Each structure stands twice: as structure tokens, then as C-alpha cells.
Structure 1
Amino acid sequence: MNYADLGTRIRQERQRLNLTQEKLAERVDLSHAYIGQIERGERSLSLETLVKLANELGSTVDYLLSEAVEVKDEALINKIKQTIISRSLEEQQMALEMIELMFSHIDKLGAFKDKV
């Protein structure tokens, strides 16, 4: 288990929500020093603490552990979902349109390569 990667994801999610370490610590009943140590990968954490943090951050445990978990189809879909879930409906629609456009170009490239 790479605790530095886990800590980085926790920090990114905390910052995405514009929370300080102190505010997050208060919400999950931990010390801010401990939150800092977790984010720097200096301390391990219990499953209970990981779940509390994931819930408070509006994240999922599998997303926070995504660097440590082998990615399967369902995990990949969850990672995509986690990436856009905190965005506005307008931003989500824009992301969907970009994905559709990207796959449209990939399909056209594939058809072009088949002809060559």
C-alpha cells in the first residue's frame, strides 16, 4: 500500500471542496496534525477512518485507493464518475459532449486506417 498516493488523493479531494485540514479534521473528529500526516503519507489509517474521510469528502473508498487497486471495467467507470460528479450539470454535459466527440474521431480514424 502506497500511503503517499492515498494521502495525495485525500488532499486533492479536500482542496476540491475548499476545506482546510483543520476543518476536515473537525468534521471527522480527528486532529489536524493527523490529517496532515495522512496527506503526506507518513501515517497509515484504519478502514473506519478511511470511510469517514471518504464520506466527508463526498468521495468513495475505491477512488481514494485507486492507485492501489487493480483497475477493472467497473472501477474505471467509477473513476470517471468520481471525476465528474462534483461538477455542475453544465460541466458534466460539456464533458459528455467532449467524450462523444473524441470517440467519434477515434471511430473515423479507425475507418480511415482500415482503408489504408
Structure 2
Amino acid sequence: MEQQTLGQRIREERLKLNWTQEQLAEKVYLSTAYIGQIERGERSLTLDNLVAVANQLGVTVDYLLSDSVTPKDDRFNDLWRQLINNRSEEEKELAINMVKLMFGYLDAASGKDPSCE
């Protein structure tokens, strides 16, 4: 994960609130020096601290990490998303059930035990 990107996002959100590093540090029970190191990308946050910072800044953890996590390039996931895009919840549920049923038949035909996965 790119610590600098995460730190920059935290800094941007803190500045939007017109807070100093000290004010944010007090709200999340961390040291001002630690907040500075986070914002410069020199230190990483524990999950608990990341959640606390996100909550105080009024943003989601997902938002803070959105530029830090690179999604796996997976053409099958992209294709699935395209296929179900703009479908109703009922149609999505039906498609999932059909795929499960199809894989069940494929597993049975190959002698594969699906409970082993």
C-alpha cells in the first residue's frame, strides 16, 4: 500500500475541516508527531487507528484507501460486472443461482467435491 497517498488524503481531509495535526491527534488519542509521520507517509496506521481517523474526519476508510489499493486486474470480474450492470436485484439473484447450479453440475460431472474448496 502506498503510505504517502494515504497520508496525503488524510491531510487533505484534515485541512478541509481547518484542523491542525494537534487537533486531529487529540480527537483520535494519538500523538501529534505520529499524525505528522502518517501524513508524510513515514508510518502506517493500525486498522483501529485508521477507522478512528476516518470517523473523526467524517469519511469512510474506503475513501481514504481508494488511491492506495490497486485492484487486481481480473477480466472475469470485469465481464461479470458488465453482464449484471443495470439489472434488477431479482435478475442478479437469478443469475447467481443459475451459476451456482451450473457449477454444481460441473462439479458432479467431474467428481469434484465442492465442499473441499
Same fold (TM over 0.5): yes
Q: Could you tell me how far 1:4 is from its partner in structure 2?
A: 0.2
Q: Is the 8 A contact 2:38 2:45 kept in 1?
A: yes
Q: Could you tell me how far 1:68 is from its partner in structure 2?
A: 2.4
Count of residues in Structure 1 that have an aligned counterpart in Structure 2: 73
| Other-structure match for 2:114 | none
| Other-structure match for 1:36 | 36
Q: Could you tell me how far 1:22 is from its partner in structure 2?
A: 0.3
Choose 1 or 2 for highest CA Rg.
Answer: 2
Same amino acid, percent of matched pairs:
65
Whole-Å separation in 2 of the counterparts to 1:50 and 1:23: 16
Unaligned runs of 5+ in 1: 74-116
Q: Could you tell me how far 1:37 is from its partner in structure 2?
A: 0.1
| Other-structure match for 1:2 | 2
For 1:62, the aligned partner's letter is D
Q: What is the TM-score of this pair, normalised by structure 2?
A: 0.59
Q: What is the TM-score of this pair, normalised by structure 1?
A: 0.59
| Other-structure match for 2:49 | 49
The RMSD of aligned alpha carbons is 1.8
Bigger helix fraction: 1
Unaligned runs of 5+ in 2: 72-77, 82-117
| Other-structure match for 1:20 | 20
| Other-structure match for 2:75 | none
List structure 1 runs of 4+ shifted beyond 3 angstroms: none
